């Protein structure tokens, strides 16, 4: 690869390499109705981030099970004013994420072929 230029094939190879690395690093465990994905990414406490996924009739439901909001609140950031709540909703909406209680939720509507 040329140091000063990168071509499309190089970019595709980078994506393939990253996808392979991520696939190797993510750990999967069944937890009730959910699959728990433990990612190789860490939070500010150096704990691995976990995502919970559940198949629904309309697609996949992804959640953090309330981890992010609870961690922010434990750290002293409370969403107790309209301004703070609006700011939180604006940030979440930018990523297509909803708040349900203290859980961050994302609903993907693509279909998934599940093995039985």
Convert the pLDDT of each residue in 21-74 to its tens digit. Answer: 999 999 999 999 999 999 999 999 999 999 999 998 888 999 999 999 999 999
The residues that bridge with 62 in the sheet, in sequence order, are 53, 106
Kindly state whether residue 113 falls inside one of the protein's structural domains. no
Both tokens assigned to 40: 């190789």
**Global confidence as pTM:** 0.79
Q: Phi and psi for 94 in degrees, rounded to 5?
A: -60, -25
CA 72 distance to own-chain centroid: 16
Report angle CA 84, 90, 92 to the nearest 5 degrees: 105
Kindly state whether residue 115 falls inside one of the protein's structural domains. no
CA separation for the pair 23, 104 (Å, rounded): 23
Kindly state whether residue 97 falls inside one of the protein's structural domains. yes
Total count of domains within the chain: 1
Kindly state whether residue 57 falls inside one of the protein's structural domains. yes
CA 8 distance to own-chain centroid: 27
Domain extent for 21: 8-108
């Amino acid at each position: 690869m040329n140091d000063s230029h990168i071509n499309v094939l190089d970019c595709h190879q980078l994506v393939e390499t990253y996808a392979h690395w991520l696939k190797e690093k993510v750990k999967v465990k069944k937890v009730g109705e959910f699959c728990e994905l433990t990612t190789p990414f860490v939070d500010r406490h150096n704990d691995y981030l976990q995502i919970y996924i559940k198949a629904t009739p309309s697609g996949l439901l992804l959640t953090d099970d309330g981890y992010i909001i609870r961690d922010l609140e434990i750290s002293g950031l409370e969403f107790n004013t309209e301004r703070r709540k609006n700011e939180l909703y604006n940030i979440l909406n930018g990523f297509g994420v909803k708040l349900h209680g203290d859980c961050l939720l994302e609903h993907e509507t693509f279909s998934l072929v599940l093995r039985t």
